[in-house]
Structure 1
Amino acid sequence: MTQEFFRNKKQLFDHWAPSYDWLFPSVFYQAIHKRLLEYVNLPPQANVLDLGCGTGRLLNRLADRFPDLRGTGLDLSSQMLRVARRSNRHHPRLIYIEGKAESLPFADGQFDAVFNTISFLHYPEPKQVFAEVARVLKEGGSFYLADTSIPNQAELQFKQIIGGIRLYSQNNRELLGSSCELKCVAHHYLLGPVLLTIFTKSV
């Protein structure tokens, strides 16, 4: 995928960043995060990663729920990260860094859980993202993927639609997981077509 693709995505989210938490997505994400938290199970003193963390709202909510949690947020947009750092209520437990989901700047087996919320649809290399998630997860760790889904019968696996957005069915997600030894353990609809799929890394 060309550098131009990533540059355009970065510019789009950099532009949104100053007003992002006042726009409709903020209300939408709040509802999704509330439902998502009902399904999160973490070990004591968990170390977690939020891919496509945006302005950091999910990590702040996770840190509220789990007082001994440590978290890292990663995003392509420097301006989103600036907002996240400014609103970080749990420093130094939470940190935010700039980077790509396709080439994570972390060690193997570093995290107990990885989260990705309404961000996966933007990734041009989904198999590579899954491989990187599997790499940085500890054995027995969990991957929480929440994004807009499509019916299995739609058969739009990896199909690119308007604006470079890609949508995946339950079957698509399970295939992506199995390709890198991430086992799908559950699907839960959170809000409308937004589907949470939970994976675990084989021990």
Structure 2
Amino acid sequence: MSNSSPDFKLRLFNRWASSYDWLFPSVFYQAIHQRLLEFVHLPDRPYVLDLGCGTGRLLDRLAATFPELRGIGIDYSPEMIHQAKQRDRYSERITYLQGRAESLPVPDQQFDAVFNTVSFLHYSSPESVLAEVSRVLSPGGYFYLADFCSRWATQPQQWGVAPGRIRLYSPVVREALGQAAGLGSMGHHYLLGPVVLSVFSKPDIEITGT
């Protein structure tokens, strides 16, 4: 395996997978999930995607909160997906798949909502990821992006060195990236510490008469 950033992070998350839910970051993420739900609006029978799902904690919480919810969780780490499947309490409604955020293994316009929690900072091509999110969202659907945020920067802020580098985005930069992918900004909300939720929507397709 090469020493490129994606491979380094893949090895890291594969090693973490079996104990991930017992580590401090997971506890922190669960608190973020709880706050996130205060801003989530879904239809009566929602179909959702959790991008960068890890061990499936957010989908588990969503399935418990919305009894008619169906969903797919996608993560780049096969070990994270293995753990999610092992712990899945809602296997009749939730499916987990291994895949890349830049090339999602799902058809167009499938989901009422896409979630991405503390994962966006790892992506080397955020434009490609947002283009995929826009592709798989149904018209009128929402994208919930919760991640650490640089408050005022007009450019992505890089931290660390390769292969472990991460990128933080201010609300202004997030809005520009979303707009380029055809997603409109619906606002930003502080969830916990420096973690900010940015909500985007995909416009409805207007149907005109002939």
Residue of structure 2 in register with 1:47 after alignment: 47
In the alignment, is the contact (CA less than 8 A) between 1:78 and 1:98 conserved in 2? yes
1:27-38 matches, within 5 Å, as 27-38=27-38
Shift of 1:159: 3.8
Give me the TM-score of the superposition, normalised by structure 1. Answer: 0.95
1:199 correspondence with 2:197: no
State the distance in 2 between where 1:164 and 1:47 align: 33
In the alignment, is the contact (CA less than 8 A) between 2:81 and 2:96 conserved in 1? yes
Residue of structure 1 in register with 2:188 after alignment: 187
Residue of structure 2 in register with 1:168 after alignment: 169
Residue of structure 1 in register with 2:208 after alignment: none
Give me the TM-score of the superposition, normalised by structure 2. Answer: 0.92
Residue of structure 1 in register with 2:85 after alignment: 85
- Root-mean-square deviation (CA, aligned residues, Å) is 1.2
- C-alpha offsets along residues 162-195 of structure 1, whole Å, 9 cap, x if unaligned? 1220000000000011101100001100001100
Shift of 1:3: 8.7
| Helix, strand or coil at the partner of 2:73 | strand
State the distance in 2 between where 1:22 and 1:161 align: 26
Number of residue-to-residue matches in the alignment: 200
Amino acid at match of 1:164: R
Amino acid at match of 1:44: D
Shift of 1:151: 1.4
Of residues 5-14 and 179-188 in structure 1, the stretch that sits farther from structure 2 once superposed is 5-14
| Helix, strand or coil at the partner of 2:158 | coil
In the alignment, is the contact (CA less than 8 A) between 2:156 and 2:170 conserved in 1? no
| Helix, strand or coil at the partner of 1:160 | strand
Residue of structure 1 in register with 2:207 after alignment: none
Runs of 4+ residues over 3 Å off in structure 1: none
* Unmatched tracts of structure 2, length 5 or more: 205-210
* Unmatched tracts of structure 1, length 5 or more: none
State the distance in 2 between where 1:39 and 1:151 align: 20
1:4-43 matches, within 5 Å, as 4-43=4-43
In the alignment, is the contact (CA less than 8 A) between 1:55 and 1:81 conserved in 2? yes
Residue of structure 2 in register with 1:107 after alignment: 107
State the distance in 1 between where 2:69 and 2:21 align: 24
Amino acid at match of 2:158: Q
Residue of structure 2 in register with 1:178 after alignment: 179
Amino acid at match of 2:188: H
